[in-house]
């Protein structure tokens, strides 16, 4: 059966003069060799010039001719891109004698048929954009072929999987082609995060075929050499070599899911803070997100200042204009609305990125401190009591959400991590102190300014749909029951939800929300991540947070005022609001609660109970 199908395909291709590359033959063999009946999910991608768009066009023709009466979807995120690339390629390679009818409005489609088919029998190839994918809910296809899948929302891809049910093609195809880009394509096909065992039991399979310039003999001989000479290194790694670890434009390029995962026991925390971002009440709206973190006294230095002398004197911060050679000033009381930003918080004006370079997260002016500081608006008090460990709470009721967000159905999720005993692990005295934790300054290394806190994210919530606010508040109560008093910050534009939370007895303050506060907040998150060693971590029970951090990218284009791409960013918005709240927490005194240790990854921060 498989050999017969391959021979038929070879005949179809020979009739229109298509000679597939070696990689494209592998693609055909993977599809024809898949479950029949069943589903094959195939990722095809890597370098530009690898023959991805041509493969999508040829597969659409073959699926139409192999299965009379079939219905095929060819898609890209934007209609303009689809029309000028994939559709154009399709009509260049499709023999005109196969086209029975072509339609351009209200939707673009073409009907194909072979001589000898029954009268009025034809297959249809539909060309649709996926920027508004919800209208596809009533369609059924035998093959779904997505070009530049890295630009497409994961929800759109999931919806299209449910549309693969056309009876004309029992061996259904889901083919996605993409250049290296963070997102669902990388997770599905390279990281293999789909439940492949369950798929095999349901007659499905997942495959990935890399595509590189060298695999395409139809390109000009000097194509790769010219682009190597012209493109910046990051572009060469990504577009020429097809390297998936050379992703450009990440908002947090210093985030490493291994480096920033806190694997050991939790230290005692001086404060627990959190961030909130309220979404919609439908299954397709933005997520409602929450995240909490514990703060402990930190011995961690920040990245070195440019031009410093290597021991903490002089220089300018690589992300902020800082005062040279000056330690953090002691904070004034939190209810002092006249406090000015400390020297280490001064801002730089973002400049347009160089050609081939993505924007760096320079901050904009911080928000007026009064809005988040005034005690009559729910600001953080001058100090929070150290919270001793509490006994484990009773088992969550059905529908409870702990650690990560979800619908609440099914067995209770794993419990949140517990903070360790309140007795801190001994660590070296502060520089200039008396050896007993009195006096001195936090250590600053390699020309950097010390971070007063180490921040460890403890729990996350990410969910949407009817009843999401009730599930969020249940999660908040569980977190407070486990960790003690929590102070929250939320987007100030969501004042109705902030007031609602306050009526529920939850301490929430509005975040800055000023023009430019997004870039300022991004810098607040970035600084402790980029420190050596890091001063920002997450615990391993957070599953969405590391995924969102790796896939958070800048919008492409020449905008002199760069902005992050608004896609699955709700949890990271909540994290940014939490970091704005962190700036209102008084700096600690005394000895740090954790120590620096050497590990195979370098210098790490860990707390070890005695």
In the chain, domain spans: 2-240, 264-606
Q: Identify which has the larger pLDDT, 301 or 224.
A: 224
Question: What pLDDT score does 347 carry?
Answer: 30
Helix (H, G, I), strand (E, B) or coil at 604: strand
Cα–Cα distance, 135 to 163 (Å, whole number)? 12
* Residue 443 · residue 311 · CB < 8 Å: no
In 3-state terms, the chain is what percent helix, strand and coil (to 5)?
30, 20, 50
From 290-294, 322-326, 582-586, the region with the lowest mean pLDDT: 322-326
Q: What is the mean pLDDT of residues 193-221?
A: 86
Q: Identify which has the larger pLDDT, 461 or 358.
A: 461
Q: Which residues contact 234 (CB under 8 A, 6 or more apart)?
A: 246, 248, 356
Instruction: Examine the pLDDT at 536 and tell me if it is beyond 50.
Output: yes
Instruction: Examine the pLDDT at 516 and tell me if it is beyond 90.
Output: no
Question: What pLDDT score does 228 carry?
Answer: 74
Q: Which residues contact 411 (CB under 8 A, 6 or more apart)?
A: none
pLDDT band per the 50, 70, 90 thresholds, residue 605: low
Cis amide prior to 294 (ω within 30 degrees): no
Instruction: Examine the pLDDT at 336 and tell me if it is beyond 90.
Output: no
Question: What pLDDT score does 217 carry?
Answer: 75
Q: Identify which has the larger pLDDT, 155 or 399.
A: 155
Query: How many CB atoms neighbour CB 420 within 10 A?
Result: 20
Instruction: Examine the pLDDT at 320 and tell me if it is beyond 60.
Output: no
Cα–Cα distance, 372 to 334 (Å, whole number)? 9
Cα–Cα distance, 345 to 18 (Å, whole number)? 61
Q: What is the mean pLDDT of residues 198-209?
A: 93
311-316 contacts, C-beta under 8 A, 24 or more apart: 311/445, 311/446, 311/447, 312/444, 312/445, 312/446, 312/447, 312/448, 312/449, 313/447, 314/447, 315/447
Question: What pLDDT score does 581 carry?
Answer: 93
pLDDT band per the 50, 70, 90 thresholds, residue 82: very high
> DSSP secondary-structure letter at 447?
T
Instruction: Examine the pLDDT at 2 and tell me if it is beyond 70.
Output: no
Kindly report the CATH number that applies to the domain delimited by 2-240.
Answer: 3.40.50.300
Can you tell me which residue has the tokens 């902020």?
320
pLDDT, tens only, 244-283: 665 567 888 889 999 999 988 899 999 999 999 999 888 8
Report the run of H or E that residue 449 belongs to, with start and end: none
């Amino acid at each position: 059966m498989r050999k017969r199908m391959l021979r038929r395909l070879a005949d179809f291709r020979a009739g229109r003069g298509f000679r597939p590359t070696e990689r494209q033959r592998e693609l055909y063999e993977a599809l024809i060799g898949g479950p029949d009946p069943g589903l094959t999910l195939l990722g095809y991608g890597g370098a530009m010039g690898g023959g991805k768009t041509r493969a999508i066009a040829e597969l659409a023709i073959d699926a139409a001719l192999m299965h009379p009466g079939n219905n095929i979807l060819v898609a890209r995120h934007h209609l303009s891109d689809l029309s000028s690339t994939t559709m154009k390629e399709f009509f260049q390679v499709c023999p005109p004698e196969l086209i029975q009818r072509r339609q351009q409005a209200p939707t673009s489609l073409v009907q194909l048929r072979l001589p000898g088919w029954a009268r009025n029998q034809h297959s249809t190839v539909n060309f649709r954009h996926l920027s508004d994918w919800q209208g596809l809910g009533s369609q059924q296809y035998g093959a779904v072929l997505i070009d530049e899948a890295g630009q497409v929302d994961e929800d759109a891809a999931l919806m299209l999987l449910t549309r693969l049910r056309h009876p004309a093609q029992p061996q259904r195809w889901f083919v996605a082609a993409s250049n290296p880009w963070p997102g669902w394509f990388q997770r599905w096909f390279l990281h293999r995060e789909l439940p492949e065992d369950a798929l095999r039991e349901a007659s499905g399979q997942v495959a990935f075929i890399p595509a590189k310039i060298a695999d395409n003999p139809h390109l000009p001989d000097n194509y790769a050499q010219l682009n190597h000479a012209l493109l910046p290194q990051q572009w060469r790694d990504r577009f020429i070599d097809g390297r998936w670890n050379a992703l450009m434009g990440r908002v947090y390029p210093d985030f490493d899911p291994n480096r920033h995962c806190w694997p050991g026991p939790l230290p005692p925390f001086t404060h627990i803070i959190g961030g909130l971002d309220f979404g919609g009440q439908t299954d397709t709206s933005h997520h409602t997100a929450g995240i909490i973190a514990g703060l402990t006294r930190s011995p961690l230095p920040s990245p070195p200042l440019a031009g410093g002398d290597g021991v903490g004197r002089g220089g300018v911060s690589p992300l902020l204009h800082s005062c040279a050679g000056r330690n953090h000033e002691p904070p004034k009381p939190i209810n002092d609305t006249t406090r000015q930003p400390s020297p280490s918080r001064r801002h730089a004006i973002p400049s347009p990125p160089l050609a081939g370079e993505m924007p760096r997260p320079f901050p904009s002016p911080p928000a007026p401190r009064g809005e988040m500081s005034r005690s009559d608006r729910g600001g953080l008090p001058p100090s929070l009591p150290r919270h001793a460990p509490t006994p484990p709470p009773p088992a969550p009721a059905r529908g409870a959400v702990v650690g990560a967000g979800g619908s609440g159905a099914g067995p209770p999720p794993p419990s949140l991590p517990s903070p360790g005993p309140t007795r801190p692990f001994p660590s070296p005295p502060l520089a200039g102190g008396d050896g007993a934790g009195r006096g001195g300054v936090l250590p600053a290394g390699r020309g950097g300014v010390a971070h007063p806190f180490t921040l460890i994210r403890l729990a996350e919530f990410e969910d949407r749909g009817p009843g999401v606010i009730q599930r969020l508040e249940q999660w908040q109560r569980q977190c407070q029951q486990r960790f003690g008093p929590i102070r929250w910050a939320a987007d100030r534009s969501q004042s109705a939800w902030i007031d609602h939370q306050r009526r529920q007895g939850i301490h929430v303050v509005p975040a800055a929300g000023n023009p430019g506060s997004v870039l300022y907040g991004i810098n607040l998150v970035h600084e402790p991540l980029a420190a050596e060693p890091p001063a920002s971590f997450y615990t391993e029970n957070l599953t969405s947070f590391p995924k969102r951090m790796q896939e958070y990218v800048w919008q492409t284009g020449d905008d002199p005022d760069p902005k992050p791409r608004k896609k699955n960013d709700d949890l990271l918005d909540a994290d940014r609001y939490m970091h704005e709240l962190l700036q209102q927490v008084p700096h600690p005194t005394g000895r740090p609660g954790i120590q620096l240790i050497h590990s195979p990854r370098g210098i790490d921060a860990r707390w070890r109970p005695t």
